[in-house]
Amino acid sequence: MATTHFSLVTDWHFEAPIERVWALIEATEAWPQWWRAVKKVERLREGDAEGVGAVHRITWTTALPYTLTFDVETIRVDRLDEIEGRAFGELDGCGVWTFHAEPEGTHVRYLWRVDVTKPWMRLLSPLLRPVFEWNHHKVMNWGLEGARKWLAGAA
């Protein structure tokens, strides 16, 4: 496996019903309202009634002094179960959100399998892999914090 490839798993737990959590994650264009790492979302293409085929350009800030911008095309939606997207641009790969209702709320898992494409990141990823992984988890923790506040009505 290439040293520029990352396979990262994030688990989020919410004390909220799956329908509310689904609606929050599905509304990509609203992410900047609650996820502090998401600086901008632009819709480049409409999808079908379920959102399949939609393309969004997302600009992220990170805990490190760089930003990432990449496009995500929604390639599969199984309502209240799974959303899959294909990323291309400064990251290239696939992300899958899965949703599971639990007695105490909702469990969300995000599986992110990507390659870095920025030349400096490709060059340094063998050395900085642990830093890049830490940075990803920090960005995802910001998302969890923001989502919990939003779902609680405090955002």
All residues at 6 or more sequence positions from 26 whose CB lies less than 8 Å from its CB, including other chains: 51, 77, 83
- 5-151 CATH choice from 3.30.530.20, 3.50.50.60, 3.40.718.10, 1.20.1260.10: 3.30.530.20
Residue 2 above 80 pLDDT? no
pLDDT, tens only, 25-82: 999 999 999 999 999 999 999 999 999 999 999 999 999 999 999 999 999 999 999 9
Question: What pLDDT, on the 0 to 100 scale, is given for residue 1?
Answer: 45
- Which pTM was predicted? 0.94
What span, in angstroms and rounded, lies between the C-alpha atoms of 149 and 121? 33
Domain boundary assignment for the chain: 5-151
